[in-house]
């Protein structure tokens, strides 16, 4: 599948967000609406989605969303007591990765996909600070589908917060010491909303 050509345009300039000990850049319209619609449906249909579980207080609890891990060979990733082995890149994932590489100035070798089926699916507070990501990881978050709130809070002062509405076709780049000092979440919502697919591209140090 190739959506480049007439649908490919220079991205909007992006909005730089400077937080205490952290940097972000938000591109709300990196992908055009029609392009985003196609990518959403393609990923929904072709990705090997699974509902994994994690150990919480001695019990196995299902993650409140579906997930998948894709990437280069030898880019396994461990979090929440799970180790994920990569599935090979699909054509759509390669296209999206190539689109964001020059913007994020990082050669990503892996991607974690999350499927939020409704407003009841969520992601709790955490930081992407696993050792295999390195000390100051660049993480590029691409979003297709329903808009969802993305909340950040400073680890040592939870009164220090920031919020971004991640929209259909948007890109959020997190970099610098953000993961060291901040954590983030995607909370549940009572609103009746459709599904959302989030892709977080990363570089795994083997």
The closest of 105, 108, 102 to 89, measured between CA atoms, is: 108
Residue 10 has what pLDDT? 45
Residue 7 has what pLDDT? 36
Q: What averages of pLDDT result for each successive group of 10 residues across the chain (206 residues)? A: 40 82 96 98 98 78 92 89 91 98 97 98 95 96 98 98 98 98 98 98 94
Judge whether 126 is annotated as a binding position. Answer: yes
The closest of 201, 119, 125 to 161, measured between CA atoms, is: 125
Q: What is the Cα–Cα distance from 173 to 180, expressed in whole angstroms?
A: 15
E strand or H helix at 61: strand 59-62
Judge whether 84 is annotated as a binding position. Answer: no
Whether 3 is covered by a domain: the verdict is no
Whether 8 is covered by a domain: the verdict is no
Torsion sign (Cα): 32, 38, 41, 46? negative
Whether 5 is covered by a domain: the verdict is no
Say how many CA atoms lie within 13 Å of 149 toward its Cβ.
Answer: 14
DSSP 96-159: HHHHHHHHHT----EEEEEEE-STT--EEEE----GGG-SS--EEEEEEES-EEEEEEETTEEE
Whether 2 is covered by a domain: the verdict is no
Judge whether 184 is annotated as a binding position. Answer: yes
Whether 43 is covered by a domain: the verdict is yes
Domain extent at residue 198: 15-47+61-202
Q: 164 pairs with which residues across the strands?
A: 150
Whether 6 is covered by a domain: the verdict is no
Whether 102 is covered by a domain: the verdict is yes
Judge whether 148 is annotated as a binding position. Answer: no
Whether 148 is covered by a domain: the verdict is yes
E strand or H helix at 35: helix 33-46
Helix (H/G/I), strand (E/B), else coil: 51: coil
CATH code, domain carrying 124: 2.60.120.590
Q: What is the Cα–Cα distance from 188 to 146, expressed in whole angstroms?
A: 13
Please count the structural domains in the chain: 1
Q: What is the Cα–Cα distance from 104 to 17, expressed in whole angstroms?
A: 14
For the chain, helix, strand, coil in percent to 5 are 15, 40, 40
The closest of 114, 109, 62 to 86, measured between CA atoms, is: 109
Which tokens go with 159? 């009164």
Judge whether 157 is annotated as a binding position. Answer: no
Say how many CA atoms lie within 13 Å of 186 toward its Cβ.
Answer: 24
Judge whether 79 is annotated as a binding position. Answer: yes
**Length of the chain in terms of residues written:** 206
Judge whether 205 is annotated as a binding position. Answer: no
């Amino acid at each position: 599948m190739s959506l480049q050509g007439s649908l490919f345009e220079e991205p909007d300039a992006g909005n730089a967000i400077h937080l205490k000990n952290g940097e972000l850049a938000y591109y709300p319209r990196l992908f055009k609406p029609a392009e985003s619609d196609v990518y959403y449906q393609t990923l929904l249909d072709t990705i090997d989605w699974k509902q994994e579980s994690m150990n919480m207080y001695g019990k196995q609890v299902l993650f409140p969303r579906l997930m998948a891990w894709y990437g280069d060979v030898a880019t396994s990733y461990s979090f929440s007591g799970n180790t994920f082995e990569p599935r090979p890149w699909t054509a759509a994932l390669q296209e999206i990765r190539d689109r964001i590489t020059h913007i994020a100035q990082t050669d990503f070798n892996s991607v974690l996909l999350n499927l939020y089926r409704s407003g009841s699916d969520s992601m709790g507070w955490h930081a992407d600070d696993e050792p295999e990501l390195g000390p100051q990881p660049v993480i590029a978050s691409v979003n297709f589908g329903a808009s969802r709130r993305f909340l950040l809070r400073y680890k040592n002062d939870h009164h220090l917060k920031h919020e971004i509405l991640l929209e259909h076709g948007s890109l959020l780049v997190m970099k610098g010491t953000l993961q060291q000092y901040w954590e983030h979440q995607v909370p549940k919502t009572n609103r009746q909303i459709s599904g959302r697919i989030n892709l977080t591209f990363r570089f795994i140090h083997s």
